A and B are shown apart, each in its own frame.
Chain A
Amino acid sequence: MFENMAKKPAGWLSEDGDESSVVLSTRIRLARNINGLNFPTSANKETRAKVVEYFKSAFEKSEFLGQGRFHLTEELDEASNSFLVERHLISPTMLERLDDAGVFIGPNEQVSIMVNEEDHLRIQAITTGLEMDKAMELASQYDNEIGRLMEYDYDSDFGFLTACPTNVGTGLRASVLIHLPGLVLTRDIDMVIQKISKMGLAVRGFYGEGTDVLGNLFQISNQTTLGKSEEDILEDIERVTRVITGDEAAARNRLREEASEQISDKIWRAFGILKYARVLSSEEVMNLLSAVRLGLAMGIIDNLSIKVINEILLLSQPAHLTKYLGQDMTTDERDIARADMVRDKLK
């Protein structure tokens, strides 16, 4: 299953969003539970099955939901579930318990709903670039439709009730995935991270085997979900993100002025390796793509679209490669297949 899905980029990747030279994607997640049923982690099999049943009946009743597809995770093989994780349609947490759980996937994969993850329902929407309102609008459409068909756990003091007290209230987690190679190279990144957390938001960087941040990718998200309206939460993240994209732009300008040849050498070397290498690990691809993405944004590389970069990023992941090529592979075989795929995409 999903072999066809693997052959094309996720639908939401094909549009260009605001600030897309720095912001890869915007994500909204709403946590919702159904009134009267224990939360998934403390629910017995019968209750978990009931949650799935409720969702399925809503899915069958609603024309709006009917535009998507629904899968029971226990009916999918391991490779398919891993594929869904890499595609961000389900979370790694879902893999821990596949029985009586499922995933709804909306048109273009812009919206997915996890059934029986930590909460009964987790509605997620994703858009390219910095598009908070658009992502929220998408998630809300599904939230409103489902909320008409079943009674949510809601308390007039505490708002939407969730398994973890850190999600209660709006149940809203909004995040942007942001590419900050300029700030990493100018070594201003620590200062910027401090700045973001001072503004009350959470930042995560992802570190690989070296000291460099893997792919220079960071995630900014809200820390609190209670006491602020959805609009205010989104506004905060958007405002801070725009400050950071401004800092990143300034860092890129400084690099252009002070180390123009070194930067362009780094970018072209990365491009050269991607274009001609025969063996590539996924971490290496991530780091090389970061340099090429920077090159594109700075106008050093042209004749290449961000879409291709995003597609390679997605396809480089192990389960994607497996589905893309339609066969199981060892790690070594996969590194070779990955290099083939990258060369093919950059032809």
Chain B
Amino acid sequence: MRCQDCKEKDSTVSMTHIINNEKVILNLCRECAAKRGFHSPLDSIPFPLANLLTGMLSPAPSSKKTAQAVGLPDLTCSQCQLTFTEFSRLGRFGCGNCYNTFREKLQGLLRKIHGSSLHRGKLPPMLSEDGNAIKEQERLQAELDRAIEAEDFERAADLRDKIKSLVNEDEAQTEKEKENV
């Protein structure tokens, strides 16, 4: 069988990968397998979701037409100059500022990929030292009020979960401190 990627060499590796319950079998030559990250059986780099992603990201034909028809300018990141259209094609950001530039469009996309659009985990060391958790709660509460007002209930639910998890963490911390006394 020919390699599915380069369509030149014979495929010597056949790989099964399961994404969202769908079994995908790939027949590839060694070089192409390595390119996809299937280098050694012990290799741990996760399967790139890029293909899935780019498929997911391409704007529906109709919406693209509308944007062009009304002459809407494409969003462009001021730091790396990546446009949203280009991002949709590549599935990769050019810099951290892209997230800020495409913020509104990303919320739906991230929800599709991760089931959520809000981080709920570690803070970077530079932020976590000086009581940022409390400020963070206030900020989230304000965000939540805004989301409810805008009737963005998905976002509101995400925000509520996040506030809950911060409160829980806080309580756990207080408990620990009590125990230590």
Contact = CB atoms under 8 A, between A and B. Distances in A.
The answer to whether A binds B is yes
Given A27-B44, A197-B18, A215-B41, A165 B53 contact: yes
Nearest to A169: B119
A221 B48 CA distance: 13
B15 interface: yes
Given A37-B95, A168-B110, A169-B121, A224 B34 contact: no
B68 interface: no
Given A155-B96, A209-B12, A147 B50 contact: no
B40 A152 contact: no
A317 B95 CA distance: 36
Interface residues of A, number: 74
Contacts of B40: 85-86, 317
Contacts of A41: 92, 94
B19 interface: yes
Contacts of A317: 40
A91 B96 contact: no
B122 A170 contact: yes
Interface string B108-128: 011001111111111111110
B35 to A, nearest CB: 8
A64 interface: no
B13 A208 contact: yes
A224 B95 CA distance: 21
B99 A161 contact: yes
B66 interface: no
Interface of A: 24, 27, 29, 33, 35-39, 41-42, 85-86, 88, 91-93, 118, 143-144, 147-148, 151-166, 168-170, 172-173, 175, 177, 193-194, 196-198, 202-209, 214-215, 217, 219, 221, 223-230, 286, 313, 317
Interchain residue pairs A-B with the least CB separation, the first 10: A227-B116, A159-B119, A153-B96, A147-B125, A42-B94, A226-B114, A92-B39, A206-B41, A224-B114, A161-B96
